[in-house]
Amino acid sequence: KWADTGYLFAAYVNEDHEWIDPLLKEILETRLVESFSGYQRGPKGVADQVFAIWHLFQRRGFKYSSITDTSGTKNLVYSQYVRFFDESLKVAQANCVDGTVLFASILRKIGINVYLVLTPAHCFLVFDMDGKGDLWGLETTAIGMVDLRDYQEKDRLNVSYDVFKKALNSGNTQLQDILKKLNAKTPGYSIISINK
């Protein structure tokens, strides 16, 4: 019998990790946002904060890494290797779950409601744009689509923003599809509220 334990990925979200505050300070030094204020500045303020975090990881050269296998993999039990917050930061790599919990940890720290969306073969982030249920998907695996070092300094912010918009579009398209699957009670699909 199928037993879905995907909700356990939520345990990797760690908004209290000691490395988050220094990351937030580094982001503030870019001056992309004046402060981390959660929902106080409305949906545009939320989008700006999410992009500022995105841009930090692109500046740090984060890449998608499909490492998911664990040493204990069995034919009857599907398992996946997940990096802890500090492991992802040290190696500047993340698979779909790693990137999702990394973003979820930081967004939760700054007061933005986050969700993990799980499919049979993928995980991505959803965040609440207005604090009232306006859900937006973010495909965190797109973070490594470009290497900002390949661009001149003056172009890097625009390139990063373009990739961010593509990641939002991809996340939102996937979210709409998954909401249909959830309504149809299709097994293997779930949205996990980190607040809950």
User: Residues 24-60: pLDDT tens digits?
Assistant: 999 999 999 999 999 999 999 999 999 999 999 999 8
Q: How confident is the model at residue 188 (pLDDT cuts 50, 70, 90)?
A: confident
For the purposes of burial, counting CB atoms within 10 Å of the CB of 80, is it exposed (0-12), middle (13-18) or buried (19 or more)?
A: middle
Question: Residue 166 is encoded by which pair of tokens?
Answer: 């593509």
Q: How many other C-beta atoms are found inside a 10 Å radius of the C-beta of residue 124?
A: 26
- Among 136, 148, 147, 145, which residue's Cα sits nearest to residue 174? 136
What pTM, to 2 d.p., does this model score?
0.88
Question: Residue 153 is encoded by which pair of tokens?
Answer: 């300094």
